[in-house]
Structure 1
């Protein structure tokens, strides 16, 4: 299949997948369903709008007007502004737009429900923060508290992640930035900055034209719905800057500095989220696209050593990553995961991804499979494929069943770069379709994040 038709077919198949994923839960097909061994109330609480985690609730808020205005402005002027702005201004403009877009979408649900209160829910990190009176002791005993059904078990989100995630919010509290609003601001600013990191990476790997083409799509991606106030937005931002620095290192005469920075960030990311180990596939794509293999090898060694420093600090503090990873898998199956059948979520996870990235990204991904570009080691194409492969691996691991619109943010944000591959004449319409889908989803479903 050639030309624009490839994108339209892919977007159509993506839309069909989403429709099927929303319809199947109502057909009572045995284990091909979002939840088993659950009461009607549990189904309403955890799977009412499967494959998206939320509840049907057509609503508007004071963020609705700004969100619509940003969407319209992005469609009307985004592509032309992206083409005309001096390059130095593009990453800043993309970051600012992404931040305001995400905040406006959050405000559709209101200040408390949509923003300040999101990270104060009973399973979230902030509930655990007041219990941490001795940080070294918390790290030293962290692994022993991962499993459930013991008196000192960590709450759900703390137990499901390495200690770096909890430590972040503890440190914010210690410097006087405690509470849900400050935590949300932290996640919003860092999560939305991933958009700037992505366009910088694209320019470094594939040039100015590709980066500018992707910029409007990255700035107002539907992923913003979950970036605004979920800790996974924070993880996505950290990982994105790690990849950006890695790309810069492969083109730098003084590669040691950006490579070390990349290693430190990606190493820190490993201690924020176990799943970020899969970001290695995106990193490998960046190194594969390097013009000089010797430079790529030096960058890899430097980054790996820097990441090892992060792991070494945690090991000295008493936490061994692999111990935590083994225990968190056991904790995962102690919880609701055992009631979420893989027969549904193996493919419904991907429907959630389609919702999170939008039809334009699905169409762009179809154009990513360009033999000439891949033979030429096009960095942009390889990075998108790396992110896609990370998602496939995460899905097959069976450690991500439901909530993947949030959990896979560190990978899905990179898929939005594929919109740069869309035919020039159709980009504005694809952008309109993307923002319309994001607005409809955010106004019809009260998302859990």
Structure 2
């Protein structure tokens, strides 16, 4: 198995470096030109510092292990269940390794940060979950570790969906892309990581339920469950329901339009139950928008942040994003990208992307990379994992973690 970087892969890396360089330069000009950004470390929220701690060596060790396993084709010979286990353990070790650059505090800092400072209102899910964990008497270190371990289940869930839609070879090649993505920085101790898991699970259940081998009650049960999970996800985030568009596209692509009824009904159940319990989702959304307009818009330039948020996305997703964008038309996983792209574009065009997208967009990042391991042409032979791009992305993550202190 050859894993030498191709000319196209090198060109994609150069393109990513160029775009990232231009974006960071424009961001620097905005910061020093007096633009209202609300942060000293644009394109991310937080502040700059340089820090290397005892845990600094863990992340590079994990990255080397994943890259070697992929380069030597070890993932090709494993049973699928073992591939999922490897992806989860490696993804968890990578996220924890990055967090431990700041020492044990890296696994608790986000729990002491209040999102009230961002001025964005929230559905009840995150506060209820965190409140239940604290009422159970768990210390912050245990809560942080638990949230990280649960949130990283997103890795195997996404892999299952990719395998079902794009095939076994594409999913195995996708493992290093998914595990070592730079956005892993923000998955540790993150309630947004829980949102990403819920969204990914909903999409995965929709993919499984809409396969042509599943009919009758089994298909209805799985797609109803997909809607239920996405409905629960909506109680954690106002943006994650856009992933439902991926499910819609899947059903239409597979000519299973009646499954929309099951998923739609499932999605309504948690929202209606929340309304009965005293939380109206639509009223909450309007309240959050009003709060945003009053507390954020006057202090963060919509014009500058519309572009800077895309720079943050480019860096957080890493160089593999270039491969995914180039081969978007060649992947049967295109429905996965639709929901993520529409959610991000809506957020930017509506003026809501004004800092913090590195964690707010966590539910969408994995799906943006799906086409990175698509064949070079539709129906063509499988491609090898883009290890040059993955390596550059891993290095990017380690640099960001060392020089930027983010509040989550």
Shared fold, TM over 0.5? yes
CA distance in 1, matches of 2:68, 2:298: 47
Counterpart for residue 275 of structure 1: 239
Per-residue displacement from partner, 1:204-257 (whole Å, max 9, x unpaired)?
A: 111101111111110111111001022111111111111111111111341122
Counterpart for residue 389 of structure 2: 430
Assess if the C-alpha contact under 8 Å between 1:205 and 1:289 holds in 2.
Answer: no
Say if 1:418 and 1:397 are closer, same or farther in 2 by CA, change over 3 A.
same
Say if 1:18 and 1:75 are closer, same or farther in 2 by CA, change over 3 A.
farther
Assess if the C-alpha contact under 8 Å between 2:247 and 2:335 holds in 1.
Answer: no
Counterpart for residue 349 of structure 1: 309
Assess if the C-alpha contact under 8 Å between 1:365 and 1:384 holds in 2.
Answer: no
| Residue 397 of structure 1, CA deviation | 1.6
Assess if the C-alpha contact under 8 Å between 2:119 and 2:291 holds in 1.
Answer: no
CA distance in 2, matches of 1:448, 1:331: 21
| 3-state SS of 1:255 partner | helix
Counterpart for residue 14 of structure 1: 19
| Residue 280 of structure 1, CA deviation | 2.3
| Residue 21 of structure 1, CA deviation | 4.0
Counterpart for residue 209 of structure 1: 169
Question: How many residues are paired up?
Answer: 391
Is residue 415 from structure 1 mapped to residue 408 from structure 2 by the alignment?
A: no
Which of 105, 110, 116 is residue 108 of structure 2 equivalent to? 116
Counterpart for residue 134 of structure 2: 173
Assess if the C-alpha contact under 8 Å between 1:342 and 1:401 holds in 2.
Answer: yes
CA distance in 1, matches of 2:168, 2:406: 36
Unaligned runs of 5+ in 1: 36-45, 125-154
Say if 1:352 and 1:422 are closer, same or farther in 2 by CA, change over 3 A.
farther
| 3-state SS of 2:102 partner | coil
Question: What RMSD over aligned residues (CA atoms) do the two structures have, in Å?
Answer: 2.3
Counterpart for residue 442 of structure 1: 401
Counterpart for residue 59 of structure 2: 67
Assess if the C-alpha contact under 8 Å between 2:123 and 2:284 holds in 1.
Answer: yes
Counterpart for residue 161 of structure 1: 122
Which of 332, 343, 346 is residue 379 of structure 1 equivalent to? 332
| 3-state SS of 2:122 partner | coil
Unaligned runs of 5+ in 2: 1-6, 377-382
CA distance in 1, matches of 2:137, 2:334: 40
Say if 1:172 and 1:49 are closer, same or farther in 2 by CA, change over 3 A.
same
| 3-state SS of 1:217 partner | helix
CA distance in 1, matches of 2:49, 2:158: 33
Assess if the C-alpha contact under 8 Å between 1:250 and 1:287 holds in 2.
Answer: yes
Kindly report which structure 2 residues correspond to 1:297-446, keeping only aligned pairs within 5 A, or say none. Answer: 297-368=257-328, 370=329, 373=330, 378-421=331-374, 424=383, 427-446=386-405
Is residue 48 from structure 1 mapped to residue 40 from structure 2 by the alignment?
A: yes
Per-residue displacement from partner, 1:85-127 (whole Å, max 9, x unpaired)?
A: 1112222211111111101100101112x11232122x15xxx
Per-residue displacement from partner, 1:119-146 (whole Å, max 9, x unpaired)?
A: 122x15xxxxxxxxxxxxxxxxxxxxxx
| Residue 307 of structure 1, CA deviation | 1.3
Per-residue displacement from partner, 1:281-319 (whole Å, max 9, x unpaired)?
A: 3223332332xx2xx323221111111111111111121
| 3-state SS of 2:405 partner | strand
| 3-state SS of 1:108 partner | helix
CA distance in 2, matches of 1:119, 1:63: 20
| 3-state SS of 1:409 partner | coil
Per-residue displacement from partner, 1:308-356 (whole Å, max 9, x unpaired)?
A: 1111111111211111111111111222332110111111100001111
The normalised TM-score by structure 2 is 0.89
Which of 230, 237, 242 is residue 266 of structure 1 equivalent to? 230
Quick check: 417-426 or 100-109, which moved more?
417-426
Say if 1:179 and 1:400 are closer, same or farther in 2 by CA, change over 3 A.
farther
Assess if the C-alpha contact under 8 Å between 1:21 and 1:351 holds in 2.
Answer: no
Is residue 289 from structure 1 mapped to residue 258 from structure 2 by the alignment?
A: no
| Residue 12 of structure 1, CA deviation | 4.1
| Residue 157 of structure 1, CA deviation | 7.2
Counterpart for residue 4 of structure 2: none
